[in-house]
Amino acid sequence: MNNKYIGNPNQIYGVEEYRLCGGKGDGMRFLLVRNGKGLEVQISLDRCGDLSRVTFKGDNLGYFAPCGYVHPSYYDRNGAGFLKSFTAGFITTCGLWAVGSPCNDEGEDLPLHGTISNIPCEKHMYYEKDGKLYIELTVRDAAIFDRKMLLERQYCVDLNENCVTLTDKVINIGSKSTPFEMLYHCNMGYPLLSEDSIIEIPSESVTPRNAHSESGLSVCLESQKPDADYEEMCFYHKMTGIATVSITNPKIRKGVSLTYDTNQLPFFTQWKMMGEYEYVMGLEPGNCHPDGRDVMRKQGVLQFLAPDESKTHSLKFNFTEQN
């Protein structure tokens, strides 16, 4: 961008690096990305390069869990220990070899949602090209005598439109085939999410996760005020082709839409949690449901990556403002 009114692009837009000080987030590295049109995204370099905080023209869009920022050194992989460091944020990546409920799959004990979201990026870079900011990073999930996987992640932040495209390439860099599960835990929060929000999911069919969720099936797309006694519900939406889901709130006149290819990510989970202080709506495309890898295997839908094989997923977020 060639603007003779400014001395440095960071006056208007750009990428800035910083670290947190104090608390369980002490030392965590972040990139603050601004596009100069009201969109600010915060990339957590020590948590898989996930989108931690997203704001649009002053309004927060994601959900921050009670634990707040937590450095990966505090991660507890036992059972549901994941929740102790589940910041949530706008996106938490789940995978790469386990998603969903803790389980034992063919003799292997698997933690809640896998470990990738608690692995730091090992390298990153950013640059501007053709009116866009690009942020590229890699996350390595590999060990001797174990699986070896590499996540190559790219963000493209448009300087002319309020949109962000996330593209992930996952590669099996080992010599043995490995189970491959991935889910994008996109967490919508207040003030984008409130009892006034309008949620649109163009599903061909919807399946409740359990009997409790079935009781809320008829109102699954409706929000409500925070309820101290609310018990979470999950709904599995079936969509085909290029799918776009969205949430808008007329009270703040802002919205977010998410577009992706269901051929890449054939499953979609809606996580509805209307609790007090736990008020979040998850819009979650993935290559699996969050029922545990053992269930996916039994259902015959568990994906695998052969040696040197890769899979690529792309998500596009559009941030809109109503007149």
Q: Report yes or no on 1 lying in a domain.
A: no
The domain that holds 130 is classified in CATH as 2.70.98.10
Q: Report yes or no on 244 lying in a domain.
A: yes
DSSP code per residue over 169-193: EEEE-SSS-EEEEEEEEEEE-TTTS
Q: Report yes or no on 24 lying in a domain.
A: yes
Peptide bond connecting 159 to the previous residue in cis, omega within 30 degrees of 0? no
Per residue in 247-294, pLDDT tens? 999 999 999 999 999 999 999 999 999 999 999 999 999 999 999 999
Exposed, middle or buried by CB within 10 Å (0-12, 13-18, 19+), for 123?
exposed
Q: Report yes or no on 177 lying in a domain.
A: yes
- Give me the domain span that covers residue 31: 9-321
Q: pLDDT truncated to tens, each residue of the chain (323 aa)?
A: 678 999 999 999 999 999 999 999 999 999 999 999 999 999 999 999 999 999 999 999 999 999 999 999 999 999 889 999 999 999 999 999 999 999 999 999 999 999 999 999 999 999 999 999 999 999 999 999 999 999 999 999 999 999 999 999 999 999 999 999 999 999 999 999 999 999 999 999 999 999 999 999 999 999 999 999 999 999 999 999 999 999 999 999 999 999 999 999 999 999 999 999 999 999 999 999 999 999 999 999 999 999 999 999 999 999 999 88
Distance CA 65, CA 189 (A): 10
Bridging pattern class, strands 178-188 and 303-305: antiparallel
Distance of alpha carbon 63 from the chain centroid: 11
Q: Report yes or no on 4 lying in a domain.
A: no
Q: Report yes or no on 159 lying in a domain.
A: yes
Q: Report yes or no on 3 lying in a domain.
A: no
- How many domains, in total, are found in the chain? 1
User: Is the Cβ–Cβ distance between 292 and 102 less than 8 Å?
Assistant: yes
Q: Report yes or no on 297 lying in a domain.
A: yes
User: Is the Cβ–Cβ distance between 17 and 9 less than 8 Å?
Assistant: no
